[in-house]
Amino acid sequence: MKDADIDADETDRLLLQRMASGDRAALAVLYRSYHGRLCRFLSRLTRRADLIEEVINDCFWIVWQKAATFKGESRVSTWIIGIAYRCGLKALRQRGDEPVDDENLPEDRTPAHDPGEDRELRDWLSKGMERLSADQRVVVELVYGVGHTLDDVAAIMQCPVGTIKARLFHARVKLRNVLPALAGDQLTQKESVP
Rounded CA separation 40/52 (Å): 9
* Distance in Å, CB of 93 to another protein, minimum: 21
Closest to another protein by CB, 71 or 180: 180
Closest to another protein by CB, 125 or 157: 125
Asked if 67 contacts 95 with a C-beta cutoff of 8 angstroms, the reply is: no
Our CA dihedral for 53, 56, 58, 62, rounded to 10 degrees, sits at -160
Backbone angles phi, psi at 98, to 5 degrees: -95, 150
Closest to another protein by CB, 185 or 191: 191
Binding residues for another protein (CB under 8 A): 1-2, 24, 27-28, 31-32, 35-36, 39-40, 43, 47, 49, 52-53, 56-57, 60-61, 64, 105, 109-111, 114, 118, 121-122, 124-125, 128, 140-141, 143-145, 147, 149, 168-169, 172-173, 175-177, 179-180, 183, 187, 189, 191, 193-194
Rounded CA separation 121/190 (Å): 11
